[in-house]
């Protein structure tokens, strides 16, 4: 009897799995014939560097706290297609932006540090180059130096992400119609009275102007850029900072990511064949490397404003547009919850921070360091500044003690790039005192960090418009290329 039951059970299991596979196979067989690949004339790809679900959720929780609700979703949360994406590189499970960017831009895995080349250094064709084959207008935008890894993989090829002068030269010859962001120092010569990293006497901006580009160089041209009305067929290079653009929280006199995106769409949409535009919120990553939660939130919200600009264009051209929002990897091991605050969270208090760790390090704190020694430096001197810049009131004895030992590290000539393992765990190679400040504020709010580097947790991808269904599910970052190229009508074979 017992044996009979077992046989019956086994048969039922076999029958049910057959059903699933039969169903699957059936489905498989049908799919290729039935579905006509939806095409898009306009493609906007927005990448939050270092942005995964934690960075998104932190920004939403902060916005919610500001509005008196539990959470307030980003605009792209309402996109119809959502998926999770793996990010590993060919030589490391935890990727860098160069390998991840190359995977998204070319569909190929490569080594960390590679700019759209394979392991042998052979260039890999990018979405921008495929778009140019289709006579689409093209654009790249970033809040980082435009020669930094993510924008670089779309418009240049190099065996090393560090060769930014060569990457700039590649970009100058790339034919890309709209190049906007930071990083004029890798393009300009020495006779402009501005900071330059070029020593070869070449001024790539002048060369691009000879090619017909209109140029906007440095913060001093921000108002000119804002009043510029794009005309069809114009080619533009707009580099509004020597290096990376400032963090949103620091409110510098520079165009925002949303403004750079809006001008780009305005210009490129005048092309009769359509366009491909890549927009990067590049400094979410930098803020998370430094474990500065509020600065990361500020740049994530600024990124969302750029997404809203793209979504508004989609609303005007729903049958011809694809908008994709993704990240290249997670940074910092950010999590919404911290041992010290157990089940509690208080993201609203982050709103009292009005400056980034970067501007505080190189501004007020640098001035304090210059005027003091390890013998006469005291946390009490800095309390007014911590209250006004970070909202750090009523500090406990243990918080003061942590700050005092960090201050001694900072003033004691313990150079930032400390070799002491303990120091690295505490301060991640950043200014010890400032790291302790943001750590205390983040812990009070209930934010936790596990690293000063990238992590390998999957990132979230969102899409709306033509062919967006392809972005549902669990897939790899190389599939983002495969989907976008198919929807753009590229024949990659
Ligand atoms: Zn990074």
CA 247 / ligand 1 centre spacing (Å): 15
* Beta-strand pair 235-239/213-217: parallel
The DSSP element (H or E) to which 476 belongs, if any, is strand 473-476
344 CA distance to ligand 1 centroid (A)?
A: 29
Distance 299 CA to ligand 1 centre (A): 14
Q: How many CB atoms neighbour CB 335 within 10 A?
A: 15
| Rounded mean pLDDT for each run of 10 residues along the chain, 493 residues in total | 54 49 45 65 98 98 97 96 98 98 98 98 98 98 98 98 98 98 98 96 98 98 98 98 98 96 98 98 98 98 98 98 98 97 97 98 97 94 98 96 94 61 84 96 97 97 98 98 97 71
The answer to whether residues 321 and 42 touch, using CB atoms and an 8 Å cutoff, is yes
Per-chain residues with Cβ under 5 A from ion ligand 1:
285
Alpha helices in 391-420 (DSSP H): 397-411
Which residue in the block uniquely carries the two structure tokens 């890999």? 124
What is the distance between the alpha carbons of residues 102 and 160, in angstroms, rounded to a whole number? Answer: 12
CA of residue 105 to ligand 1 center, whole Å: 17
Nearest-5° Cα angle at 38, 35 to 39: 150
49 C-alpha vs ligand 1 centroid, how far in Å?
7
Separation of CA 454 and ligand 1 centre (Å): 6
Measured in angstroms, how far is the CA atom of residue 39 from the centroid of ligand 1? Answer: 33
Whole-angstrom Cα distance, residue 137 to residue 139? 7
Q: Sign of the C-alpha dihedral, residues 418, 422, 427, 429?
A: positive
The encoded tokens of residue 356 equal 């980034």
Cα of 286 from ligand 1 centre, angstroms: 6
- How far does the centroid of ligand 1 lie from the alpha carbon of residue 135, in Å? 33
DSSP state letters, 379-438? HHHHHHHHHHHH---S--HHHHHHHHHHHHHHHTT--SS---HHHHHHHTTS-HHHHHHH
- Determine the distance separating the centroid of ligand 1 and the alpha carbon of 153, expressed in angstroms: 15
Instruction: Please name the helix (run of DSSP H) or strand (run of DSSP E) that holds residue 26, with its range, or none.
Output: helix 2-34
Query: How many whole angstroms from 383 Cα to the centroid of ligand 1?
Result: 31
Spatial neighbors of 254 by CB under 8 A, at least 6 apart, are 219, 222, 240, 241, 245, 246
Domain ranges of the chain: 42-333+453-488, 335-448
Residue 40 DSSP SS3: coil
Distance 401 CA to ligand 1 centre (A): 31
Q: What is the CATH number of domain 42-333+453-488?
A: 3.40.720.10
Rounded to the nearest angstrom, the distance between the alpha carbon of 309 and the centre of ligand 1 is 25
CA angle 330, 336, 338 (to 5 degrees): 115
Q: How far is the CA of 140 from the centre of ligand 1 (A)?
A: 19
Question: What is the CA(161)–ligand 1 centre distance, in A?
Answer: 12
Ligand 1 centre from 244 Cα, in Å?
13
Number of H helices, E strands in the chain: 18, 14
C-alpha 124 – ligand 1 centre gap (Å): 22
Q: What is the pLDDT of residue 424?
A: 84
Please tell me the predicted confidence (pLDDT) of residue 12: 52
Q: Cα of 453 to ligand 1 centre, how many Å? A: 7
User: From the CA of 109, how far away is ligand 1's center (Å)?
Assistant: 18
Cα-to-centroid distance, 331 and ligand 1 (Å) = 6
Which pLDDT belongs to residue 412?
Answer: 80
């Amino acid at each position: 009897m017992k044996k009979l039951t077992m046989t019956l059970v086994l048969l039922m299991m076999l029958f049910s799995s057959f059903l699933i596979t039969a169903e699957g196979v059936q489905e498989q067989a049908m799919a290729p014939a039935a579905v006509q690949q939806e095409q898009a004339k306009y493609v906007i790809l927005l990448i939050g560097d270092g942005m995964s679900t934690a960075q998104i959720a932190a920004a939403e929780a902060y916005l919610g706290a500001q509005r008196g609700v539990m959470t307030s979703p980003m605009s792209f949360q309402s996109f119809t297609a959502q998926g999770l994406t793996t990010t590993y590189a060919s030589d490391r499970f935890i990727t860098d932006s160069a390998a991840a960017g190359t995977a998204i831009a070319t569909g190929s895995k490569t080594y960390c540090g590679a700019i759209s080349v394979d392991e042998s250094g052979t260039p890999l064709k990018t979405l921008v180059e495929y778009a140019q084959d289709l006579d689409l207008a093209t654009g790249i935008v970033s809040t980082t130096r435009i020669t930094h890894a993510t924008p670089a993989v779309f418009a240049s090829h190099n065996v090393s992400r560090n060769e930014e002068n060569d990457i700039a030269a590649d970009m100058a010859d790339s034919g890309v119609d709209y190049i906007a962001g930071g990083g004029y120092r890798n393009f300009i010569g020495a006779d402009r009275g501005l900071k330059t990293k070029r020593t070869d006497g070449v001024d790539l901006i002048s060369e691009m102007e000879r090619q017909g580009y209109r140029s906007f160089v440095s913060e001093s041209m921000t108002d000119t850029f804002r009043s510029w009305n794009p005309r069809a067929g114009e080619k533009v290079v707009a580099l509004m900072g020597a290096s990376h653009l400032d963090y949103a929280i620091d409110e510098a006199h520079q165009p925002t990511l949303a403004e750079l995106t809006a001008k780009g769409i305005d210009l490129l949409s005048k092309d009769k064949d359509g366009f491909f535009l890549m927009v990067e919120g590049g400094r979410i990553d930098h803020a998370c490397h430094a474990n500065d939660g509020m600065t990361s939130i500020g740049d994530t919200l600024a990124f969302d404003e750029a997404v809203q600009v793209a979504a508004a264009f989609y609303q005007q051209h729903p049958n011809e547009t694809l908008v994709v929002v993704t990240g290249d990897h997670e940074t910092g091991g950010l999590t919404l919850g911290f041992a010290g605050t157990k089940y509690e969270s208080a993201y609203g208090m982050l709103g009292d921070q009005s400056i980034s760790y970067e501007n505080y390090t190189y501004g007020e704190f640098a001035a304090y360091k210059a005027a003091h020694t390890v013998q006469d430096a005291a946390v009490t001197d800095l309390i007014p500044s911590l209250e006004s810049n970070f909202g750090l009131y009523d500090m406990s004895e243990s918080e003061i003690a942590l700050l005092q030992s960090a201050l001694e590290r900072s003033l004691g000539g313990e150079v930032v790039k400390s070799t002491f393992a303990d120091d690295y765990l505490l301060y991640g190679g950043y200014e010890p005192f400032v790291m302790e400040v943001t750590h205390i504020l983040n812990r009070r709010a209930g934010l936790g960090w596990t690293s000063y580097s990238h992590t390998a947790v999957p990132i979230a991808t969102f899409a709306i418009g033509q062919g967006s269904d392809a972005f549902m599910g669990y897939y790899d970052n190389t599939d983002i290329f495969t989907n976008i190229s198919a929807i753009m009508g590229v024949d990659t074979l």
